Structure 1
Amino acid sequence: MSGIVAGKLAFVSGAASGIGRATCQVLAREGAVVIGADKNKKGAQETIENISKLHQNNHFSVEISVSDSKSVQNVLQQIMQQYKKPPSIVINCAGITRDNFLLKLSEEDFNEVIDVNLKGTFLVVQTFAKALVDSGINSGSFVNMASIIGKIGNMGQTNYAASKAGVELFTKSAAKEFGKFGIRCNSVLPGFILTPMTETIPDKVKMKLLSTIACNRYGKPEEVAEVIAFLASDKSSYVNGASIEVTGGM
């Protein structure tokens, strides 16, 4: 099996759609054994079934609620039973939006976005990094999904922007702690990517956004997935604590 992550075990949250699904596809193409995890169990199963047809390997799908520590622990146990080792590639793509103007934003919608996007990233990274360290595997790559919105802000997305800014700085800090264990941590900051999450944006807003993108088009999930695969692989062996923008020049 050839490919830049050949023979590696890779965990991807948010695997049911969008960038998470595309990441599963690219990692499988590049030779990894992929564990696709999502709260949407059926969607994760579909992703894994599709990649198994194209790239026969011992791929696996699992249901997860990233904001619930028991669920994350349970998934790790399932993986250890199935593969007898923790994944050395961990990609956090699970994320949600609950957009509203700040003066109308409910406490519940603020909390939910922080819980899934930021706390969920923390729980997965902590749980899986501990498993890697405990097992004595002294190499790993964690890639967390931040967003360009976490850098520039956006109307109606104070909760989302705060959560993604948090993910970026969480990742930089984790990189400083995990370097001695051979574990690298990087974040990817997508711009406007055509996914189920962006489909809800009104056309008028989409046109306005398009005028801010130098490439003059929206991004595709696989264009983000290719960058994630590079960061997951040994080709990026000295890239650590980085934030890579995939925005088409926004």
Structure 2
Amino acid sequence: MAQGPFDGKTILITGGGGAIGRATAKRFLDDGAKLVLVDVNAQGLEAAASDLASPDRVQTHLSYLDSVAAAEVAVEKAGDGFHALVHLAGISLPDPEDYEDLDLFDRTIAANTRNAYALARVIERRGLGDASDTFRIVLASSMAYRRGGLDRVAYSSAKGAIAGMVRALSRRLAPRVHVNGIAPGIILTPMTEPIIKRRGDDLAREIPIQRYGRPTEVAGVIAFLCGPDASYVNGQIINIDGGTINS
């Protein structure tokens, strides 16, 4: 049997119970990796694990990643061969009508950005990666940070913070660690269903490719950023939006 590019390597995926998390997990499994899937949703985690072949190569971990200590526990699950962190965890909710309500902003920052920072601190402290096998971090931003979500200021702000984090960490952690980000557009997932239902026709007309993205198409870019072909890619935010930003 031919070796995959991630044989002997462990990938930690946050948001592993979501649609993009599942597609990414399957891609890495097909390429030989072992996985640690982290999510706040126990039911989603269980469903994700049961959908995947090779259950002996998949661990699940229920966590909000709400502190450095919690991030440390998640990282410990990866054990030897820990090669990459893929941070997909996050929430996207419309801003509240109550102008005095800042709770959603705080929760959105925590669920998208604060947890990424906690994980990065653990990885930095552990000194992961070396000259022969750089550690990889891929953080999920969004098209929303480039265009601005009309009714999702909190979410757009959180994803903008992720972009800044990518650029800062890519300088701070190099050369042992390469840090990059992805900025998906409208991908067919449960998270985007309400947006597509409300504004689907208008959104579709803005996409040059004239369709929405698929989770597997995001997974392919993530696998590239974690693999050997991305050995000189660092500090980049890659759009996965069918050309929307450039149109």
The two structures have a TM-score, normalised by structure 2, of: 0.90
- Residue 163 (structure 1) aligns with: 158
- Residue 73 (structure 1) aligns with: 72
Residue deviations 1:8-33 (CA, integer Å, cap 9, x gap): 11000000012111111111111111
Following superposition of structure 1 onto structure 2, how do residues 88-127 of structure 1 map, counting pairs within 5 Å?
88-100=83-95, 104=99, 106-127=101-122
* AA of the residue aligned to 1:35: V
Shift of 1:68: 3.2
Following superposition of structure 1 onto structure 2, how do residues 34-183 of structure 1 map, counting pairs within 5 Å?
34-51=35-52, 53=53, 55=54, 57-77=56-76, 79=77, 83=79, 85=80, 87-100=82-95, 104=99, 106-133=101-128, 139-180=134-175, 182-183=176-177
Question: How far apart, in 2, do the equivalents of 1:130 and 1:29 lie?
Answer: 31
Question: How far apart, in 2, do the equivalents of 1:217 and 1:49 lie?
Answer: 30
Shift of 1:194: 0.8
**1:87–1:128 contact (8 Å) kept in structure 2:** no
Question: How far apart, in 2, do the equivalents of 1:147 and 1:105 lie?
Answer: 26
1:187 to 181, 190, 198: 181
- Residue 26 (structure 2) aligns with: 25
Shift of 1:120: 1.2
Question: How far apart, in 1, do the equivalents of 2:68 and 2:92 lie?
Answer: 21
* AA of the residue aligned to 1:11: L
**1:189–1:243 contact (8 Å) kept in structure 2:** yes
* AA of the residue aligned to 1:128: I
Structure 1: unaligned runs, 5 residues or longer: none
1:228 to 204, 222, 225: 222
Question: Among the aligned pairs, what percent are the same residue?
Answer: 24
Does the C-alpha gap of structure 1 residues 105 and 205 become closer, same or farther in structure 2, counting only changes over 3 Å? farther
Question: How far apart, in 2, do the equivalents of 1:59 and 1:191 lie?
Answer: 28
Question: How far apart, in 2, do the equivalents of 1:213 and 1:135 lie?
Answer: 40
Stretch of structure 1 that moved more, 134-143 or 152-161: 134-143
Does the C-alpha gap of structure 1 residues 96 and 204 become closer, same or farther in structure 2, counting only changes over 3 Å? closer
Question: How far apart, in 2, do the equivalents of 1:132 and 1:138 lie?
Answer: 12
Secondary structure of the residue that 1:60 maps to in structure 2?
strand
Residue deviations 1:27-49 (CA, integer Å, cap 9, x gap): 11111111111011232232223
